[in-house]
Amino acid sequence: MASFWEKISVNGAEMDMYASVPSSSAGFSAPYPAVLVAQHATGVDEFIQDICDRLAAEGYAAVAPNLYHRHSEEAIAASANGGPRPSPGALLSDPDIVADINAAMDWLLNHDAVQSDRIGVTGFCMGGRVAWLAAASNPNFKAVVPYYGGNLMTTWGAGQTPPFDLADDINCPMLFHFGEIDANPSQDDMQKLDAELSRLGKDHTFHTYPDADHAFMNPAGGRYNEAAAVASWPRTLEFFAQHLNG
C-alpha cells in the first residue's frame, strides 16, 4: 500500500486530496476499483486517512478530498485556539461540495490505475450526508455507504434542494449504518429515509447498531463503539466487493 497527497483543481481553486492505493506485493494489480471517502467534521484527519488505507489494503484505490479547502485556515485556527470549530454547515455549501466531489470523480475517471466503471463512495458523520449527495449528483458512483449521515433534510449554504429530496436521483445500491442512540440521524430519521427510498424503489439496506451513538467508528472519539465498528466494517467491505468487484 502506498499513500500520498494530490492537488487537484476545482473551478480554478486548488484542493488537497489524500490518496491510498493497493500494493502489488499484496497481490493487487492495476487498474483497481476505487472508493471516494467523504471526510467527517474534523477534516481529512488520521481517522479518514486510516479508512483510505484500510480500503487500499482490500484492493481499492481510495481518495479523500479536503472539502474545507476554501475555508481551512478558519477551521484550523478555531481548533488550534481551543475555540469552537465552525459547524460543517457553516463552512460548506452544497454546490461547492458537489463541485469538489465531481472534481475528485473526474480525477479517478481519468486515472489509468482506476477502473472507471467501478467507483463507490462512503462517508462518516457529515461525510455520510456528502456520500448521499454525491450519489444523487454524480451518476458514475456504483455503490454508496453512508455512516450516520445527518442533516439530510436541510440545505447547506447556497443549496436549494435538501439531499433527502434528491433521493430519486440515486441510482446505485446503498448501505446505510445508523447508531441506535444517535440523535442526528435519529431512528425516526432512519424510518423517513427508509420509507422514501422504498417508495422510489431504490436498492438500499439499513443497519442499526444497539447502544451505538453518532461517530461510533472513530476510535479517537468519545463515542467509539467497538461492537458497532467491528460489525459494520465487514458489511461495508462485503457490499463494495459485491458492487465494485463484480
Show which residues are catalytic.
Answer: 125, 182, 214
Grid coordinates representing 232 are 459494520
User: Hey, what's the torsion of the CAs at 75, 79, 83, 84, to 10 degrees?
Assistant: 60
Q: Cα angle at 242 between 152 and 232, to 5 degrees?
A: 55
Dist. CA 54–CA 219, nearest whole Å: 14
The H or E element that residue 37 is part of is: strand 32-38
Residue 3: strand pairing partners: 20
Grid coordinates representing 80 are 488550534
- Helix, strand, or coil here: 97? helix
86 DSSP assignment: P
Cα maximum dimension of the chain: 48
Judge contact between 232 and 207, C-beta under 8 A. yes
Grid coordinates representing 209 are 447498531
- Cis amide bond preceding 33, omega within 30: no
Give me the sign of the Cα torsion angle 56, 58, 59, 64: negative
